[in-house]
Amino acid sequence: MSSRDGYQWTESSGLVKGVPSIGVIQPPTNIQTEHELYDVIVVGAGYCGLTAARDAALSGLKVLLLEARDRIGGRSWSSNIEGYPFEMGGTWVSWGQPHVWREISRYEMRDQLEISHDYSRGVNHFSLNSASGSRNMSHEDEDALMESALKKFANVDGQYGRIVMPFPHSESHNPEAAKYDKMSVADRIAQIKDDLSSEEHTVLLGFVLLCSCSTPEKTSFYEYLHWWALCNYSYEYCIEYLIKYKFKGGQSSFAINFFKEACSTGRLSYAFNTPVASINDDGNGVQATARDGRIFKASRLISAIPMNILKDVTFSPPLAAGKLDASTTEHVNKCVKVHAEVRDRDLRSWSGITYPNNSLMYAIGDGTTPSGNTHIVAFGGQHNHLQPEKDIDKTMDALKALTPMDVERVVFHNWADDEFAKGAWFFSPPGLVTEHLEDLRAPQGNIYFANSDWAVGWRSFIDGAIEEGTRAALAVKRDLDRSRSAHL
């Protein structure tokens, strides 16, 4: 089955909207009767919503899962083109991410992981292209350069961030860290600019802006420190945890297990292609109204809607001020993730940064397709005026500006223009996390809010989505149990 989401291009087909994915759900609904009263409605079938729906169904609750798209996975899903998965959103996982590893173990998928990078053959080098020139270096030299730059960047306390953020899964342990949320990446670089070589400056910005897919002025230094702390205050573990291990069959091969287990309980109803227009809590229960006018009712509701589009759904009573302010502000990640299948097999061991003079700034060799071609994955941002679906030739030029390549296929998802996300993984502007994290996490009447965007641990990652879905399902179960006990 093909999803409406995503695009692919080949010379013979031209640009085509929609890509095949095993995450597309058929039939799109299993609802048998209207006017059913559910225990809980879950809005959104990304990893957070899937986890919440599964856990709630397993706990004995009658669950309705509503999803605007035709597929599961939200911002983490894979296409399956000619036997090869191209990851359209979230990709990498690690045993250093506790919630995701629990689920990998649960579904016995430990042997379904592979390493993205293969430095055993081919060019086996890193390309650094900056305003001051271009050169290739070994991956060992790349790692040394990155480590030096990132340590200088994070070393706000003489211990590379260990003192200011000792408990990254519980940020409130050191309120002193909050002052760094007033700083942007640009502010921090201004503090250390005299300690950075020109190459350190380039790789630092290339790496940090890969994390945020925004500009230095709009990127929170605090949020980067949080990522750094989660990665053991080390560039080595940034690679280990963030960009090394992925599923052989793609993310959708993982997500489908959550959905299947929820279905196996016999307590999950679902409707895909069902964008929710409004959510009303009258104090006795919750009503979700779809754009097409269908109405669904439940005692409780879990909103797994991403932060940037919370404001696009009408809530009654209205969203609390902190939630609305956060959604109106928006997180800054407007990533465009572009995959290229290239005939240059030697590029399997290549990686590179081109900054600031290219709309794609970071890329790596990320696999070998069944035909033996190299798979390159590249990242850019809409702030660089990259919109591949509107100008594929500009995108091709941006790919070739990273390093010479003979492109056979391009696959991408423009998250910035996705109406159900309005951005890729969460990355905050200065001030948003410390001002609104608790606002976003708080329930509102009979409505619970859960999303990776406001996880306390691996915020913005698949791990954070599972963390949040687990939290919300348990909170609803406890709430309903208390309510029912009170009426006995």
How far is Cα 13 from Cα 16, in angstroms, rounded to an integer?
7
Residue 268 placed within a domain: yes
Stated pTM of the model: 0.97
Residue 99 placed within a domain: no
pLDDT digit string, tens, across residues 305-347: 999 999 999 999 999 999 999 999 999 999 989 999 999 999 9
Last residue of a domain, one of 393, 414, 435: 414
Length of the chain equals 488
The reply to whether 188 and 139 lie within a common domain is yes
- Residue 194, judged by CB atoms within 10 A of its CB (0-12, 13-18, 19+), counts as exposed
Q: Could you list the residues known to form a binding site for FAD, using ranges.
A: 67-68, 276
* CATH, residue 444: 3.50.50.60
| 444 DSSP β-pair partners | 447
Cα-based distances in Å from 484 to 39, 223, 226, 281, 488: 12, 41, 40, 18, 7
Q: Could you list the residues known to form a binding site, using ranges.
A: 67-68, 276, 379
Residue 403 placed within a domain: yes
pLDDT digit string, tens, across residues 458-467: 999 999 999 9
| 375 DSSP β-pair partners | 341, 367
pLDDT digit string, tens, across residues 39-83: 999 999 999 999 999 999 999 999 999 999 999 999 999 999 999
Last residue of a domain, one of 414, 430, 449: 414
Domain region containing 181: 116-245+336-414
The reply to whether 439 and 477 lie within a common domain is yes
How far is Cα 172 from Cα 86, in angstroms, rounded to an integer?
38
Last residue of a domain, one of 388, 414, 440: 414
Q: Could you list the residues known to form a binding site for substrate, using ranges.
A: 379
pLDDT digit string, tens, across residues 132-174: 899 999 999 999 999 999 999 999 999 999 999 999 998 777 7
The reply to whether 145 and 240 lie within a common domain is yes
The reply to whether 260 and 322 lie within a common domain is yes
How far is Cα 463 from Cα 456, in angstroms, rounded to an integer?
11
Residue with tokens 């348990």: 474
The reply to whether 171 and 37 lie within a common domain is no
The reply to whether 240 and 373 lie within a common domain is yes
Burial pattern 169-183, b for ≥16 Cβ within 10 A else e, equals eebeeeeebbebbeb
Residue 100 placed within a domain: no
Helix 185-192 / helix 198-212 crossing angle, nearest 10 deg: 160
How far is Cα 63 from Cα 312, in angstroms, rounded to an integer?
24
H or E element at residue 377: strand 374-381
Number of H helices, E strands in the chain: 13, 21
Cβ atoms of 23 and 252 within 8 Å: the answer is yes
* CATH, residue 123: 3.90.660.10
Looking at residue 131, its pLDDT comes to: 86
The reply to whether 472 and 438 lie within a common domain is yes
Domain count, the chain: 2
